Amino acid sequence: MKNKVINIAANYDNYTLEIKKRLISILKKYGYDYYDGFSKEGELNIAIGGDGAFLRSVRESNFSSIPFVGINTGTLGFYPEITADNLEGFVSDYTAGNYTINTINLIESEIFALNYSRKIYAVNDFILKRKDMKTIHMDVYIASNHLEKISGDGIIISSPMGSSAYNKSAGGSLVYPSLKTLQITPLSPIISNAYRCLDCSIIVPPEFEIAVYPERKEDYHIALLADGEDASYEELEYVHFRTSKKFIKRLSTGSFNYWNVIKDKFL
């Protein structure tokens, strides 16, 4: 009988490679084969590293429908819940079926530029700035209603899981992961007699679409980052953001406690 295949994506630092070697040995002991990267024959994607490694593995797999789990060899992270000293316990639990599969909805961005449009996806967040990093002026609409004009360094559109990343550093709110929301957070907004906007983040329910229109022609040259991956667009006309019907699956053994991670990471 053919062994079941586990996909492994890992960082290349020495400690992570050591943990990967130990994991492969344990997987073989339990009757699994492994694949470096993302085989469609795999039944589980394991990312070894920190949050960045987890997000990178999701993107490199093209948002695979195979469940993901993370083994943490970085600093304290939100995605990788398995510790390096519990590898055999994890493989044993997985083999026995002691886990749950949760879904994480992606953020969908639909970009409309001169003569074309495209969709791109993110797990954590989108960051919208001018390519030259000068002040950008943007009109923001929620459910087709004009809300405000934001002038400043840019904006972040984040998911609940992404709310604890750049969004929090920019003054946004923490949102519990099971909530299906989007959050709009301005980056260094200018608030003066000449420019007015809200100086707080806005949390938007999943049925509402967010639209962002650059105000001036010089604002059309946009840098849009999806989970930190940079893409630039010339003559961008507007962008729509929405909670996508597309999702990834995240495997959990029940050891992840959001409040404990928040306390350990920030307090």
**Per-residue pLDDT at 95 exceeds 60:** yes
Q: What average pLDDT does this structure show over 14-31?
A: 96
Instruction: Give me the count of residues in the chain.
Output: 267
Each residue's pLDDT tens digit, 244-254? 999 999 999 88
Give residue 260's pLDDT: 86
**Is residue 2's pLDDT more than 70?**
no
DSSP string, 30-83: TTEEEEES--TTEEEEEEEESHHHHHHHHHHTTS-SS-EEEEE-SSS-SS--EE
199-234 burial by CB neighbour count: b if 16+ within 10 A, else e?
Answer: eebbbbeeebbbbbbbeeeebbbbbbbbbeeeeebe
What does the pLDDT look like over 99-121, one tens digit per residue? 999 999 999 999 998 888 999 99
Domains of the chain with bracketed CATH: 4-98 (3.40.50.10330), 106-246 (2.60.200.30)
pLDDT at 1 over 60: no
- At residue 161, what are phi and psi to the nearest 5 degrees? -65, -35
pLDDT tens digits along 40-69: 999 999 999 999 999 999 999 999 999 999
Q: To the nearest whole number, what is the mean pLDDT of the chain?
A: 92
Q: Where does the pLDDT of residue 32 fall: very low under 50, low under 70, confident under 90, or very high at 90 and above?
A: very high
**What's the mean pLDDT in 17-44?**
96
pTM to 2 decimals? 0.92
Q: Report the percentage of the chain scoring pLDDT > 90.
A: 77
Active site residue 264: no
Task: Say which of 13, 33, 36, 51 is annotated catalytic.
Answer: 51
Question: Does residue 239 register a pLDDT over 60?
Answer: yes
Q: What is the pLDDT of residue 128?
A: 95
